[in-house]
Each structure stands twice: as structure tokens, then as C-alpha cells.
Structure 1
Amino acid sequence: MQKIYLDTRKLDASCRASYGLTEEIMMENAAMSLEMAIRNPTPPCTERRKAQKILILCGGGNNGADGYTLSRKLRFDYDVSIIQFFEPKSQLCKLQADRAEKCGVRFVKREDLSFYDLRFTDIIVDCVFGSGFHDELDEKTRGTLGDMNACECFKIACDVPTGLHEDGTVAEGAFVADLTVTMGALKTCLFSDMAKDFVGQVRCAELGVNRRLYENSTNSNLVKGMLLEESDLFLPHRAVYNVNKGSFGHVAVVSGEKQGAAAIAGSAALRFGAGLVTLVHKNSSKKGLDIFPELMVSSEIPEKTNVIAFGMGLGRKDEAAQIYFDYILEHGNIKCVIDADACHAQGLKNFLEKKEKGVVLTPHPKEFQAMLKNCDLGEYSVEECVLNRMEFAEKFCRKFPKKTLVLKGANLIIAHFDGFKFKLFVNPFGQPCLAKAGSGDVLSGLIAALLAQHRKTLDAAISASLAHALASRKIKCDYAMTPYDLILATGQLEEFEAKN
């Protein structure tokens, strides 16, 4: 896991004070990291031809100074040109621009960009605006960045892509990077849903000291959350031989109006290690439920059930969800996964107040909107729920401690408050193929399976979400995936497990 910060400016200042560094030293190291990304490329950059011509877009502040510094490091080994978006304004930008000019770097004004400059470019490096950008991009800047985005070359952003705001929103005409080399530490804005199409791969650069020293340079707790890595995945392998199916738990998946959703979740739970899975419907003879021979069917919750997953395809009638809220409260040892329609239930607030622990909720943004309203945490638009989801996740978890919240999105968020410390995790591995009906049901089934195998709710949410996202990377066609393709792929994750 890697730490994520809302703002790294305090870290920059404390790093300089603690270790006797200067802004100039840190700038040289920032430029060195950009240089290494060019000299020692990794996929997808390596899939292109060897870089020869490089355009560096420079603004007037210290982000632009990073670009000027980079240009003189690459001089003579590459055909380097500086595209001046703005005249140097900060002292360091003026100094580094002067040094680049003395090294013979070619300077080009935006209006003088030629067809040759763009047509034969191999790499574009965006050093126009850094983190902390709040404004909109002017028409001229949008136009130039649009030309850059249209170039079929590899694009690198310095710190954050130009146009990405500190809150994770994106200005019209923002730079679209294939790789973002962010400086010092990871920033939350890089992992908003809106940012995912603009940042590309994210790599963290060291600024003159080891990254751990940089992050520990202040006693203030500035950490906003943790970024999950592949190595955080722990698969539910079976190390003991003297076991039976009951050793791995019994998941009951409630089938409602749309029975296919429950069948998908149940199949995912069985694939991910649950010993038994039962589809529960008031009418156990309902046609369609018996076409899944590996899943049992019952009109009642089996006696030894230790996890109930419900909400997927349940229907919006409050009494449908209330039956299971009441049952779980009566059987205190049962854990549960609450998904989809159950997130809209009026009885959710009362249930969460009474159920002390053992609850995982998995809403998408519209369902989270309903949860916030029904739990008296405010009425917000879906857009606000997406934009402020880290803030709202903390608000929700502090009101309902010991519950684990899984917020679906381009970068999935997991949040938990244990009564003492709020914890937030970001899973960045999901692929576009997951934007299809049934994908969320698979995730709920995976979480239920791990809960049945006695994982804690937070651990189950983390490993299940990673398995879900990493399995999506195994799908070769981005539009043709079915939920059962995804379920099968969860049994093919050994390459990630080997890194643990």
C-alpha cells in the first residue's frame, strides 16, 4: 500500500526544513525522474518506436521550471524543444529557463508551432501547471493542448496533468497523459473517477531523499488514504487437509425480482471459496433458480448460514429488505453484504444503528446517494456523491462505526471507521469492461465468500475488490465480457499472488 495525500506542499516545506534541502535541489531531482521515464521507458511507452523528438510544454511557475531543467538534461541525446506557454515568472523558472537557453535548447512560442513540430514528435512532456491548479483553461491553452492530445505520441505529465484540479475535477481541454510522474508523494486528485482518463499510469518521484524520509518529515498526519497495490491481494487458499465444505462457510444469497443477479453473486461466492451457497427465494420452486446445479435453492435461510448477501435484484419494496434486516439482527453472528436495492431501503438506518459489526455495503453512486438521504446524512446529487466521495465516505463511516463501505467507481473506494481511526483505501485497477450489468453482483459474491471464510469485513472488502479488478485485467476484449467470464478469471490470479 502507498500513502495518498490531499496536499503535498506542507510535506515539501517540512522536507526542506528537516533535511536541509532547497527548492532547487528538489527541482533537479524532479527533472531527473522525468528524465529516467524517458531514458528508461516502461510499457506502454516501450511499445512505441525509440524516442527522438521531444516537446516540453512549460508554464511560468515552478512546474515550468521542472520542464526547463529536464530540457538541458536531455540536450544532445534527443531533439528537444521547449514550447513556452507563458513567460517565466517565478525566480526558479527564470533561472532554469536561462540555463536551458545557454545549453542551446530550442525555444518555440505556441503560435509558432509548426506541422513538423507536432507530426514527428515522439514524446510530449506537460510542465504547464502543477498541483494546486484551480482555474479554468483559457481558450488559447485549450486549443494548444487539444493539438497535443491529438498527437499520436507518448505523453508524460509532470506532477499532475494540466487542467486537473486539486479536488479531482477536470477542466475543459485538460492534457491527457499516458504517464504521470507525480512529485514527492501521491495526491488524491490523481485517483478521482474523473482523473482516471487523464493521468494514465502514475509513478511517484523522489525529490532528493528517500520517499519514506520525505513522507516522515513532519509529525502532522497529512495522509488522506492508502493506494492498494497488487501485492495486497490475499487469495483464499486452503492450507489444511482435514476439512469439509462446512469449514469454509455457508453463504445465503437472497433472490428477488431479478433472480439472475442473485445467481451471479452466488456463483461468484462459490468460485471464490465459500463451502456452500444457497439461493434463497420465498418460492423455492420459482422457475429459473434450478438451472444452476452447483447452487442450492431454498425458501428459507439455511440453519448454518454465516453470511447473507442481499439487495442484488431484490426489488425496491421496503418490506423485502426488512425481512432480512430483522433476520440478521435476530441472528447476531451472521455477517452480511448489502447491495443494490437494499441500499434504498428505509429501514437501513435503523439496521445499521443496531447491527454492531459484520456489515459490508457496496453501493454505486446513485445507491450511495439514497443511503446518505435515508440515513439522515444529507441530500446530494449523484454528481456531488462522486465528486465528494472520500469526504462522504468518512461522514458515513463515522456515523456507523465498524461498518465497511465499498464505493464503486472508476477507482473503487473502501472506507472503515473502527471507533478510533478512519481508514480509506483506493483500488485503481478496475478496467472499462466492468461497466456492465452483473459486475457488481460478482463483487458482492466475492466479498460474501471471504466473510464466510472468516475474514474481517475490511480485509474481505480489500481482497475481494482486488480480485475483482485484477480479474478484469485478464479480459482480452473490453466490450465482450460477461459476469461469468469475470467469475472464471478470479480463479486465474496466481501471477499476482506470487508477488506477495
Structure 2
Amino acid sequence: MQKLYLDTKKLDASCRASYGLSEEIMMENAAMALETAIRHPYPLSGDRRQPQKILILCGGGNNGADGYTLSRKLRFDYDVSIIQFTAPESPLCKIQAERAEKCGVRFVKREDLSFYDLRFTDIIVDCIFGSGFHGEFDEKTRAALNDMNLCECFKIACDVPSGLREDGTVAEGAFIADLTITMGALKTCLYSDCAKDIVGTVQCADLGVNRRLYENSNNSNLVKGMLLEASDLILPHRKICNVNKGSFGHVAIASGEKQGAAAIAGSAAIRFGAGLVTLVHKHTSKKGLDIFPELMVSSQIPEKTNALAFGMGLGFEEAACQEYFDYLLSHSNIKCVIDADACYAPGLKAFLEKKEKGVVLTPHPKEFQAILKNCDLGDYTIEECILNRMELSEKFCRKFPKKTLVLKGANTIIAHFDGNKHKMFVNPFGRPCLAKAGSGDVLSGMIAALLAQHQKTLDAAITASLAHSLASSKIKCDFAMTPYDLMQALAEL
């Protein structure tokens, strides 16, 4: 896992104070990181008469200063041009621009940028705005960035792509990077859903000291959350031999109006290690449910159930949801996954207030909107639920301690407040192939399987979410995946 910060300005300042580094030294290291990224995939050609063409887009602040610093490091090995979006303004930007000019770097004003400059460009480096950007672009800047985005070359963003705001929202015409080299530590804005299509691959650069020293330079609790990595995945492998199917728990899946959703969740649960899975048809016909040989079917929740998942395909029948709420309250040892239609249930708030622990909720933004409204946490638009997902997930978890929230999206958020500390994890591995009916049912079944295997709710949510996303990366076609393809890919992890 890697730490995420809302803002790294305090870390920059404490790093300078703690280790005696100057802002200029840190800037040289930032430029060196950009230089390394360029030299590694773009080594010098043996033909010095045809150097690769690089455009560096510079603003007037310290982000622009990074670009000027980079330009003089590349000056004689590449055909480098500085595109000045604004004149240098900050003291360091003025100094670095003067140094670049003395080194003979070509300066081009934005309005003088020619078709030739873009047509034969190999690399564009965005150093216009840093993480302090707010507001909107002016018309000329937006038009110029649109031209850059259409250019078929490799694009690198310094710190954050220009147009990405601190809160993770994106301005119209934002720079679209293939690679973002962020400085010092990872920022939360890089992992908003809106940012996913503009940041490309994200790398973190050291600024003169090891990243751990940089992050430890400030004793204040500045960490906003944790970024999950593939290495954090701990699959439910069976290490003990003297076991039986009961050793791995019994999952009950409520079947309702759309029976296929329950069947998908049940199949996912059995494939993710649950010892037994029963489809419960209390409020629907048994017809069609007995064609899955690996799943049992019952009109009642089995006596030895360890985890219950409901809501997927259940329908908007209030009485059905309330019956499951009441059952769970009277069986406090049974953990549960609440998904889909159950997110709209009027009785959800009262249930969450009474059920002390063992609850995982797995909404997408529209369902989360309904949860927030039903739980008297505010009447938000779906867009607000997407743009403010980190803040709203924390608001929900603090209202309902010891409940685990899995807020699905391009970068899924997993949040939990244990009564003392709020914990937030971001899963960056989601792929567009998961945007299909049935994918969420698979995830709910996987979480239920881990709960039945006696995992804690937060651990189960993290493991299932990672496995779900990483399995999707094994699907070659971005549109043809089915839920059963996804389940099959689980066995390949």
C-alpha cells in the first residue's frame, strides 16, 4: 500500500526544514525524474543529426520552473523547445528560464506554435499548472491544450496534468497524459474517477531524499488514505488439510425479482472459496434456480448460515428487505453484504443503527445517492456523489461506525470507521470491461464468501475488490466479458 495525501505543500516545507534541502535542490530532482522518464524509453539515437523533438509546456509558477530546468538538461541530446503559456512569474521560474535561455533552448510563445511544431513532435511535457490549479482555462489555453491532446505523441505531465484540481475534478480541456510523474508523494486527486482518463500511468519521484524520509518529515497526520497495490492481494488459499466444506462457511444469497443476479452472486461465492452456497427464494419462485448444480436452493435461510448477501435483483419490495433486516438483527453472528435494490430500502437507516458490526455495503454512485438520502446524510446529485466520493464516504462511515463501504467506480473506494480512526483505501485497478450488468453481483458474492470464511469486513472488502479488478485485467476484450468470464479469471490469479 502507498500513502495518499490531499496536499503535499506541508510535506515540501517540512522536508526542506528537516533535511536542509532548498527549494531549488528539490526542483533539480523533480527535473531529473522527468529527464529519466524521457531518456529511458527514448534513448539517444546514433544519428545525432536527427534528435527526437520535445516540446515542454511552461507556465509562470514553479511547475513551469521544473520545465525550464528539464529543458537545459536535455538541451544538446534532443531537439527541445519551450512553449511559454505565460511569462515566468515566480522567483525560481525566472531564474530557471534565464538559465535555459543561456543554454540556447528555443523559446516559442503559445500563439506562435506552428502546425510543424506539433506534427513532428515525439514528446510533450506538461509543466503549465501544478496541483494548485483551480477555476477554468481561458479560451486560448483550452484551445492550445486540445491541440496538444490531439497530437499523436507520448505525453508526460509534471506533478499532475494541467486542469486537474486538488479535489479531483477536471477542467474542460485538461491535458491528457500517458505518464504522470508526481513529485514527492501521491496525491488523492490523481485517483478520482474523473482523473482516471487523463493521468495515464502514475509514478512518484523523489525530491532529494528517499520517499519514506519525505513522508516522515512531518509528524502531523496528513495521510488521507491508502492506495492499494497488486501485492496487497491475499487470496483465500486453503492451507490446512484436515477440513470439510463446513470449514469454509455457508453463504446464503437472497433471490428476488431478477433471479439471475442471485445466481451470479452465488456462483461467484462458491468460486471464491465458500464451502456451501444456498440461493434463498423466500420472495420468488424456485423455477430456474435449480439449474446451477454447485448451488443449493431453499425457501428459508439455512440454519448454519455464516454470511447473507441480498439486494442484487431483489426488487424494490420494502417488505422483503425489511424481513432480511429483521433476520440479521435477530441473528447478530451472521455477517451481511447489502447491494443494489437493498440500498433503496426505507428501513436501511434503522438497520445500520442497530446492527453493530458485520456489514458491508457495495453501492455504485446512484445507489450511494439513495443511501445518503435515506440515512439523512444529505440529498446529493449523482454527479456530486462521484465528484465528492472521498468526503461523502467518510461522512457515511463516521455516521455508521464499524460498517464497511465499498463505493464502486473507476477507482473503487473502500472506507471504514472503527470508532477511533477513519480508514480509506483506493483500488486503482478497475477496468472498463467491468461496466456491465452482473459484474457487481460477482463482487458481492466474493465478499460474502470471504465473510463466511471468517474474514473481517474490511479485509474481505479489500481482498474481494482487488481480486475482482485484477481478474478483469486478464480479460483481453474490453467489451465482450461476461460475469462468468470474470469468475473463470479468478482461478488464474
With structure 2 as the length reference, what TM-score do the two structures score?
0.97
For residues 81-122 of structure 1, the C-alpha deviation after alignment (integer angstroms, 9 at most, x for no partner) is 111111111111111111111111111111222222111111
Q: For residue 382 of structure 2, what is the amino acid of its counterpart?
A: V
* Counterpart mapping for 1:111-122 below 5 A: 111-122=111-122
Partner of 2:16: 16
Distance (whole Å) between structure 1 residues aligned to residue 285 and residue 171 of structure 2: 54
Following the alignment from structure 2 to structure 1, what is the Cα–Cα distance between the partners of residues 122 and 469? 31
1:25 pairs with 2:29: no
Residue 200 of structure 1: how far off its partner (Å):
0.7
Q: Which residue of 2 aligns with 1:484?
A: 484
Gaps spanning 5+ residues in structure 2: where? Answer: 43-49
What is the match of residue 270 of structure 2? 270
Residue 420 of structure 1: aligned partner: 420
Q: Please list, as runs of the form range in 1=range in 2, the aligned pairs for 1:17-416 lying within 5 A after superposition.
A: 17-41=17-41, 52-282=52-282, 286-416=286-416
Map 1:442-461 onto structure 2 (within 5 A): 442-461=442-461
Letter in 2 for 1:100: A
Go from structure 1 to structure 2 and tell me whether the alpha carbon gap of 1:51 and 1:124 turns closer, same or farther (over 3 Å shift). farther
Q: Which shows bigger deviation, 114-123 or 409-418?
A: 114-123
Give the SS at the match of 1:124.
strand
Q: Provide the secondary structure at the position in 1 that maps to 2:87.
A: coil
Separation in 1 of the partners of 2:407 and 2:292? 29
Other structure's SS at 2:486 match: helix
Q: Contact 1:348–1:374 at 8 Å: present in 2 too?
A: yes
Runs of 4+ in 1 over 4 A off after TM superposition: none
CA distance in 2 between counterparts of 1:283 and 1:336 reads 18
One-letter amino acid of the counterpart of residue 253, structure 1: I
Distance 1:253 1:121 in 2: 56
AA of the residue aligned to 1:134: H
* Of 105-114 and 478-487, the range deviating more from structure 2: 105-114
- Offset, 1:283: 6.4
* Residues 114 and 316 of structure 1, relative CA distance in 2, 3 Å threshold: same
| Residue identity opposite 1:112 in structure 2 | D
Q: How far did 1:41 drift? A: 3.1
Distance in 2 of aligned mates of 1:78 and 1:463: 45
Q: Is the Cα contact below 8 Å between 2:283 and 2:320 reproduced in 1?
A: no
Please give the alpha-carbon distance, in whole angstroms, between the structure 2 residues aligned to 1:120 and 1:283: 65
Distance 1:477 1:448 in 2: 28
Q: In structure 2, how many angstroms separate the alpha carbons of the residues matched to 1:418 and 1:316?
A: 31
AA matched with 1:388: N
CA distance in 2, matches of 1:257, 1:284: 7
Contact residue 51 and residue 122 of structure 1 kept, 8 A: no
User: What SS class does the counterpart of residue 423 from structure 2 fall into?
Assistant: strand
The Cα offsets for residues 414-448 of structure 1, whole Å up to 9 and x where unpaired, read as: 00011111100000000011110111111101111
Q: TM-score, normalised by structure 1?
A: 0.96
Cα distance between partner residues in 2 of 1:365 and 1:284? 27
How much is the aligned-residue C-alpha RMSD, in angstroms?
1.2
**Using the alignment, how far apart are the partners of 1:428 and 1:127 within structure 2?**
24
Contact 2:312 2:339 in 1 (8 A): yes
Deviations 1:37-73 (A, max 9, x none): 111239xxxxxxx981111100111000000001111
CA–CA distance in structure 2, aligned partners of residues 396 and 114 of structure 1: 51
Q: Please list the CA deviations of residues 206-245 of structure 1 after superposition, one character each: whole Å capped at 9, or x if unmatched.
A: 1111111111111111111000000000000001111111
